[in-house]
Structure 1
C-alpha cells in the first residue's frame, strides 16, 4: 500500500508517519523507486500502537523505541509482550526488585501470590504492586494482607473475563495495543468506582453526624 493508504488505515497524517519513520519508531517501507515506498499491514498495526502510546500514555520517542524493540525481538512470546506492556503502563522504577526500602512490600506481594497461587514472578505486575503498596503506605494508606485478599476476591473473576475478551491472538503489535488500551480503561474504571465509594462514605458520615439531610445526593429514580 502507498503512504496515503497507510494514513487512511491507521488514522495518522502522512506528515506524522514520515516523522515517525525519521525518528525510527515506524519501520520504513520497501522502496519501489527513488521516491515511492510500499507499506504493509505491519505498518498499520505499528502506527496504531504508537497512537495509543502517544495519546493514552504520553510516551516519549525513547520509551516507544524501547517497547517496540522488545516486540520486534526474535522469538518474543505473547506473555513477554504482555509483561512489557504492564511495565510500560505501570511505570514502575527499575530498582523495585532489589531496593531494601521496598522489601516489606515485596514480601507482602509474594505472600498474596502464594496464598492465591498467582504466577507472575518476576514480573512487572508483581513489582508494580510492591511499588503501589509502598506509595500508599507513604501517605498513610497502608494496605495489609487481609485487605489485599479482599481486593483479590473481587478482581480475580474479572481478570479471567478480561483475558478472554482481549484474546491472545493477533500480531505482537496488535496484542500490545489491546493490552495497553485495556490497562488504561480498567485503571480509570477502578479509580472511578473507588472515588464513588469514597464520596458515598463521606456523604453517609455527614448524614449520620446530622450535618446533612437524609436524602442528600441520592441518584435519580429509575
Structure 2
C-alpha cells in the first residue's frame, strides 16, 4: 500500500506517519522506485500500536520507542512484550526491586507467588504488586498473604480468559491488545470494588437508621422496561 493508504487505514495523517518514520518508531517503507515507498501489514500493525499508545495511553515518543525497540529486537518473546506493556501501563518506580523500604512488601509478593506456584519473576507484575502493597499500607490497608490469597482465588480463573483474549497476531498486535486488556481489566476490577464498597456503606447506614430499608435499590427489571 502507498503512504496515503496506510494513513487512511491507520487513522494517522501522512505527515504524522512520516514523523514516526523520521524518529525511528515506524519502519520506513520498501522503495518501489526512487520516489515511491510501499508499506505492508506490519507497518499498519505498528502504526495502530503507536496511535493507541499516544492517543489512548498518553505515551511519549520515548516510551513508544522503548516498546517498539524491544519488539524489533531479534529473539524477543511474547512474554517479554507483555511484561513491557505492564511496565508502561503501571509506571512502576525503578527502585521497587532494590529499595530496602519495599523489602517487606517484596517478600509478601514472593510468598504469594510461591504459595500459588505463580511464575513470572522478575517482571513488571510482581514489582507492581510490591508497589501496590506499599501504597495500600500507607493508607492503612496492610494486606497479609492470607488476605491476598483470597483475592487470588477470585482473580486467577479470570486471568486465563484475559490472556486468551489477546489471541494470535504479530507482536505489535498483541502489544496493542495487551495495553487495552490491562486497562479495561483494571477499570472493571476497580468498578466492582467501588460498587461493593458503596453497598457496604449504604448497608451500614440502613442498619444505623440513617436510611430507610428500601433505599438505594436498583429498579426491578419490569420498572426498567417501563421507563
Instruction: Sort the TM-score into its range (normalised by shorter chain).
Output: over 0.9
Aligned pair 1:49/2:87, yes or no?
Answer: no
Shifted more, 10-19 versus 49-58: the winner is 10-19
Aligned pair 1:66/2:66, yes or no?
Answer: yes
Aligned-pair CA distance for 1:25: 1.7
What's the counterpart of residue 35 of structure 2? 35
2: distance between equivalents of 1:199 and 1:109?
28
Aligned-pair CA distance for 1:15: 2.5
Unaligned runs of 5+ in 1: none
1: distance between equivalents of 2:178 and 2:203?
37
What's the counterpart of residue 5 of structure 1? 5
Kept after mapping to 2: 8 A contact 1:9/1:44: yes
What's the counterpart of residue 206 of structure 2? 207
Aligned pair 1:77/2:77, yes or no?
Answer: yes
Shifted more, 135-144 versus 61-70: the winner is 135-144
TM-score by length of 2: 0.93
What's the counterpart of residue 118 of structure 2? 118
Aligned-pair CA distance for 1:22: 2.5
TM-score by length of 1: 0.95
What's the counterpart of residue 197 of structure 2? 198
What's the counterpart of residue 132 of structure 1? 132
Aligned-pair CA distance for 1:197: 0.8
SS in 1 for 2:108: helix
The one-character-per-residue Cα deviations of 1:31-63 (angstroms, maximum 9, x if unpaired) are: 334432211111100011112211221111111
Unaligned runs of 5+ in 2: 222-227
The one-character-per-residue Cα deviations of 1:82-102 (angstroms, maximum 9, x if unpaired) are: 111111112111211111010
